[in-house]
Chain A
Amino acid sequence: MNAIIVSALSGVLMMFSGIIVKNRSYHTVIAACALLLLLLANLLNSYGIWVIRIDTHNMFNFEQFGMYFNTIAIATTLIYVLLSGKAVEKISSYSADYYALIFFVLCGVSILSAFNSLLILFLGIEILTIPLYILTGADKRNLKSNEASLKYFLMGCFSTGIMLMGVTLIYGGTGSFILGESRVPESALVPKTSFLEIAGMILLFVSMCFKVSAAPFHFWTPDVYDGAPGVFTSFMATIVKAAGFIAFVRLFDQHTELLGPSWKILLSFVIIATLLVGNITAVFQQSVKRMLAYSSIAQAGFMLFSLYGANDFAREGILLYSVAYSLATIGIFAVLIKMKDYTFEGFNGLAKTQPELALSTAICLFSLAGIPLTAGFFAKYYMLASAVKAGGSLWLVVIAVLFAAVSAYYYFRVIQAMYFKEGEPETEEITGPFKLGMLVVAALVILIGIFPSLVLNGFYF
């Protein structure tokens, strides 16, 4: 509850600070302070101190899992703002408004991590995505940004329509919007689960696949991630996507038995399609930004394993995966934004001119590929282990491991360009604090890779 209230208020505060404070670099400082406050408020919430207590009539369920995810999301946003704040300021003079929109997105994230009613799920998804349409089109004069924002908007509305139809059909079947509750009394005439409820769940599944860009509903992702300004792609591909998965897991945690064995078949089809499309297409990309867009589809395939497993291992795994994936991707994007040329050739010889940046980027790429001693290894391990524990799906795990090997190819292409090719990469001015920040991110990736319990223990204490 604290996170929802404080993030909404911080968003309003940022809008006003845009009017009062004209110096753009102060906007970043204000945003970082507000994020620290938000982090503190959320931590207090998880130790049982509430700003206000409202009876939500069972529409919210503030459990430890959701609040811990909020902590992760807010902390990664803080790292993101500190690393890429300069780039946000460069887009236009409205940087305070961009931060305000980022706070509204965080409000949506904290709603999604606590919803217990389909109404709140709908509101959370909308509060999450509407600011993103604006952020995607932030670069107003750029045609690619325009196209991305229009595409994202139309696809987002379309999937919202499908989600609402699903919610309505579930309501028709059960008479309630609360998850797992049914008001319709059982009788000889009314069967236990109606056809409407099952149809509704399938529509909800489809629309959530749209939101987290799982194949075959992924087609908007590459264009949107490629067209949006790099700073905001980095935010969309990490924190927002992880929040989408938290909502997905919370939604489909309990009553998948309604769908019977077809649920596992449906899900394994989606997982394989997502891994296939993401990994194979990423191999053929020339632009690093577009490659990262496809790689985010591929990573979504791994995150879907948390739905497949649906046990405690999966819940721990999705938290670890959000940390590992968000940290690494934010790090890589922060470097990418500094480059003048987004193709693989643009990275040629970066290790000679900027050794610190090349090293930290390489560590982040190792983490995305899932090399041991980096955070990505344990994240992938937990995901696959949850599927093994659920039983009867070893073949799926083998396929996922094979695709992880494919993914190493395109991540290593960047490392190869940085270390083993000659060239003069053109970068924007790189300051000392930025280098330090990148090294801190790389150190965190390795630290979590060696001691994953650092993240997981936080879940229980």
Chain B
Amino acid sequence: MPIQYYIYLCLTLFSIGIIGVLTRRNAIIVFMCVELMLNAVNLLLVAFSKMHHATAVVGDAATNAGIEGQLFVFFIMVVAAAEVSVGLAIIVMMYRNTHSVDINFLNRLKN
């Protein structure tokens, strides 16, 4: 499959994520949209990794070019897990105080 298809797919997923972050008001859903953005990136990294490997393997059959793209994916997964643990704790802390996970709720309280 040409690489363009992967790029279009990942950019679509990424844009859905961005639109979700900017328009939704439920903190959990915003959070899910951020995860969608990160996973779109993961998919694209793997696709590029295969692409670089495929172009390098023509000249040198024993090459391991393109492996760092897949390594990066693991780093993103680990960091995303760390972020989730902190983020859910923050959302729970807010829920305890306001009984709501609406991001605009606190803005309304201030006025």
In the complex, which residues of chain A have a beta carbon less than 8 angstroms from the beta carbon of B31? 154, 157
Chain A at the B interface: SS class: helix
In the docked arrangement, what's the CA distance between A150 and B103, Å? 8
How far apart are A87's CB and chain B's nearest CB, in angstroms?
Answer: 21
Q: Which residue of A119, A146, A168 is within 8 Å of B41 (Cβ)?
A: A168
How many of chain A's residues have a CB under 8 angstroms from any CB in B? 36
In the docked arrangement, what's the CA distance between A167 and B94, Å? 33
CB of A161 closer than 8 Å to a CB of B = yes
**1/0 per position for A114-155, CB-CB distance to B under 8 A?**
000001001100100010011001001101101101110110
In the complex formed, the residue of B with least CB distance to A173 is B48
Contacts across chains A and B counted by CB atoms under 8 Å: 110
- Contact residues, B14-43 vs A (CB, 8 A): 14, 17-18, 21, 27, 30-31, 34, 37-38, 40-41
In the docked arrangement, what's the CA distance between A27 and B111, Å? 38
In the docked arrangement, what's the CA distance between A140 and B68, Å? 40
- Contact residues, A147-184 vs B (CB, 8 A): 147, 149-151, 153-154, 157-158, 160-162, 164-165, 167-169, 171-172, 175-177, 183-184
Known contacts A123-B79, A146-B97, A184-B55; A154 and B27 CB within 8 A of each other = yes
Interface size class of B (residues with CB under 8 A): 35 or more
Q: Which residue of B7, B21, B91 is within 8 Å of A158 (Cβ)?
A: B21
In the complex formed, the residue of A with least CB distance to B109 is A143
In the docked arrangement, what's the CA distance between A154 and B27, Å? 8
In the complex, which residues of chain B have a beta carbon less than 8 angstroms from the beta carbon of A149? 90, 93
In the docked arrangement, what's the CA distance between A157 and B80, Å? 9
- Assess the B48–A171 pair: CB atoms within 8 A: yes
15 new A-B contacts at CB < 8 Å, known A123-B79, A161-B34, A165-B37: A119-B71, A119-B75, A141-B97, A144-B106, A144-B110, A149-B90, A150-B27, A150-B94, A157-B31, A160-B38, A164-B38, A164-B41, A168-B44, A183-B56, A183-B65
27 contacts between A and B (CB under 8 A): A122-B75, A126-B79, A126-B82, A134-B86, A140-B97, A143-B97, A143-B98, A146-B106, A149-B93, A150-B94, A151-B103, A153-B86, A154-B27, A154-B30, A154-B34, A161-B17, A164-B37, A164-B41, A165-B44, A168-B44, A169-B44, A172-B3, A172-B44, A177-B68, A177-B72, A183-B52, A183-B56
Please give the residue numbers on chain A whose beta carbons come within 8 Å of chain B beta carbons, in ascending order.
119, 122-123, 126, 130, 133-134, 137, 140-141, 143-144, 146-147, 149-151, 153-154, 157-158, 160-162, 164-165, 167-169, 171-172, 175-177, 183-184
